[in-house]
Structure 1
Amino acid sequence: MSRSKIDVHAHFLSPTYRKALLDHGYTLPDGMPRIADWSVESHLAFMDSNGIAKSILSVSAPGTSITSDQNFNTSLARECNDYAANVKAQYPDRFGYFACLPLPDTAASIAEIERVLDGPSKADGVALFSNNAGTYMGDPILRPLLAELNARNAIVFLHPIAPHCGASRGCRDAEAAYLESSPLASVYPAPIFEYFFDSARSVLDMLMAGTACRFEDVRWIISHCGGVLPSLVDRVFLFMRFGQTFTTGRGSVPVTEQQIREVLARQLWFDLAGNPVPHLIDGLLKFTGKDHLLFGTDVPWTPFQVAGGIVTDMEQGLPRCVGEDSLDMIYRDNAEKLLSSRRNT
């Protein structure tokens, strides 16, 4: 019998969002073969079949900033958040949500943070992408937004997206922008490996730029075990031992190896979506604890039937990686503790 689980990496598509993707040329988002099918009913059926007590919904790539019209993007983000809040209100024991933000418009995004985290909708946190029109987490332009999240002790779900050069996204045909920005984009869909590279790029940027240290009350959930991050952390430490500092000319805060280790262990949680057993977990546990691992499925962009098979594989393989006594902690308890800490602030 499946153990009770909380899924922190689960997506939704409101009817309005799905139509917006189609209307603006996102028929193959980031090289995916199609726009995912989703409904509350199909999601609940998947949860019931796989022992998932609760799912925390979020909008996946390409997000809501899909045009050069920022007013449209802001309105679309609000619609998605209101839709998710309504689902949560209808099924409070089964669904939560991470709110999307209309980046790169920082002012509009701060206003949305105030609305969804301080208002009656009570989002469980916010979802950000590994880059926003080519802007990564260590960039100073994001500091006012991160300061707002820090003041609220907020949870940030960091989801990968294909790398994009800043001039291309939202300015012309979506497929052309994707092909121009991503190496090998014409050969392989971005989620196969570009997502893993971009997650690591974004997390390393916020670590090396001192952003995570500066905003120490933000709790981060990093998708897919951090992508290739476990393979690169020691590389960063090696350069630091050479005497390399990473001030980058962006007003960054100099950081030490010890500070980065503390951030990795204290402020970052990692979901297991994407069939990571055992190799990614082995690397991850070198610098974080089992108490910072979370269950995730990535439905419906990973189709429900496929995700069900991955859950089965995880149930069979995870005990060999972490031991039977850690399973409830990873499947449910860690997420429950993290999410309840947000509700209590």
Structure 2
Amino acid sequence: MANGKIDVHAHFITSTYRKALLEHGYAKPDGMPGIPRWSEESHLAFMNSYGIAKSIISVSSPGTNITSNRGLNQNLTRESNEYAAHVKARYPDRFGYFASLPLPDISASLAEIKHVLDGPLKADGIILLSNASGFYLGDPHLRPILAELDSRKAVVFVHPTGTCCQANLQDSSASESPAYSSPLASAYPDPVFEFFFDSGRSILDMIMTGTACRFSQIRWIITHCGGALASLLDRVIQMASLGLPLASGRDPLPVSEAQIRAIIAEQFWFDLAGNPIPNQVDAILRFTSRQQLLFGTDVPWMPFEVVGEVVQRMERDLPDCVGKEHSDPIFRGNAEQLLLKQVEN
């Protein structure tokens, strides 16, 4: 068993957050069977059992902007961030955290960035969902947030959430219901595969609009080995190499094939939470290096007792996939260097 791992993809659930989810229609978030139980003690016990030295915890989807009340969302965000900061303060060698923002509320989110990064809360970075009430990462609405994070060379952890894309029907039914979403979208829990599509959609939106070029100092962690990203990059790169426009109508910066490749290779890190070995890892390594891969578990939304088996399988299979000399840094060293740079900034 590889000891001393750093888990960049782990979550926490406070009693306040659980109560808010239940009260505001999220008893089964993203189609999951329910809200898992979590405590510091259960998390530490899991870490001790599987050689995890440190977990960087965050609030998972649907995030902290879950009500129609702006003040309640701000309070829930603040309570979650301060709780995580207290956990980190009590166990500085075992826990770090990525702070939540009440997006798409820009002014409140800017205030929260300053609260968690400038003061004593000492967040290790910020978590952004793949979309904030339909605002994807390339949307101009989010530029003030990204500009603030770029100025700080922040680590930004991008976690998928439920899609907000809908298709418009061009037939007679469109007049009755112009916004249409297939029943398939709600037939399965979003984490089964919709999360992967939404991550890919949002990351490509950020690349194709030039947003990643605009804010090149942000260091992005993309969960689940990039979701569907790797399978779509060949098409996007081909279009860029032919000089075809990649975005329109949103003040895009032109993006070249060389820029796309550089963004993937230099600005993005990819965690291995889930089951990405060997297929997803093989695919993403066509565009990035082994130094950009990070260990992740996704507990407790992936149950402790289940993910333990996944960790053991990863320990067994990762060396064959990436080489023994690279597997140990993936389990710890790559994350250590990334997070150390955040502290230095």
TM-score normalised by L of structure 2: 0.94
Aligned to 2:242: 242
- Residues 144 and 13 of structure 1, relative CA distance in 2, 3 Å threshold: same
TM-fit CA distance, 1:237 = 1.2
Query: 1:243 Cα shift?
Result: 2.6
Residue 77 (structure 1) aligned with residue 77 (structure 2): yes
Instruction: Output aligned runs, 1:1-345, within 5 Å.
Output: 1-164=1-164, 184-345=184-345
> Is the 2:240–2:255 contact (alpha carbons within 8 Å) kept by the matching residues of 1?
no
Q: Which moved more, 1:235-244 or 1:294-303?
A: 235-244
Q: 1:262-293, CA deviations, whole angstroms, 9 ceiling, x for partnerless residues?
A: 11111000000011110000001001000000
Structure 1: which 5+ residue stretches go unaligned?
167-179
Bigger mean CA offset, 100-109 vs 235-244: 235-244
Q: Distance in 2 between matches of 1:340 and 1:149?
A: 17
The whole-number CA distance in structure 1 between the counterparts of 2:97 and 2:181 is: 30
Distance of 2:264 and 2:215 partners within structure 1: 13
- TM-score, length-scaled by structure 1: 0.94
Let me know the Cα RMSD of the aligned residues. 1.2
CA distance in 2, matches of 1:252, 1:75: 35
Instruction: Tell me how far apart the structure 1 counterparts of residues 250 and 229 of structure 2 sit (CA, whole Å).
Output: 22
Question: Following TM superposition, by how much is the alpha carbon of 1:239 offset from its aligned partner in structure 2, in angstroms?
Answer: 1.7
Deviation at 1:159, TM superposition (A): 0.1
Matches of 1:93 and 1:186, distance apart in 2: 40
* Partner SS, residue 270 of structure 1: strand
Distance 2:182 2:129 in 1: 16
Query: For residue 157 of structure 1, what is the amino acid of its counterpart?
Result: F
Per-residue CA shift, 1:159-198, capped at 9, x if unaligned? 00010259xxxxxxxxxxxxx8575133211100000000
SS at match of 1:63: coil
Matched position secondary structure for 1:156: strand
Q: Which letter maps to 1:316?
A: R
In structure 1, distance between residues paired with 2:147 and 2:242: 32
Q: What percent identity do the matched residue pairs reach?
A: 62
CA offset digits 1:215-271 (Å, max 9, x no partner): 010000000000010100001012223331224211111110101111111100000
**Superposed structure 1 runs of 4+ greater than 6 Å apart:** none
* Matching residue's letter, 1:343: V
Segments of 5+ residues of structure 2 without an aligned counterpart are: 167-179
Q: How many residues align?
A: 332
Report how far residue 316 of structure 1 moved. Answer: 1.1
Q: Is the 8 A contact 2:14 2:80 kept in 1?
A: yes
Which one-letter code corresponds to 1:244 in the other structure?
A: L
Give the Cα–Cα distance (whole angstroms) in 1 for the partners of residues 89 and 199 of structure 2: 31
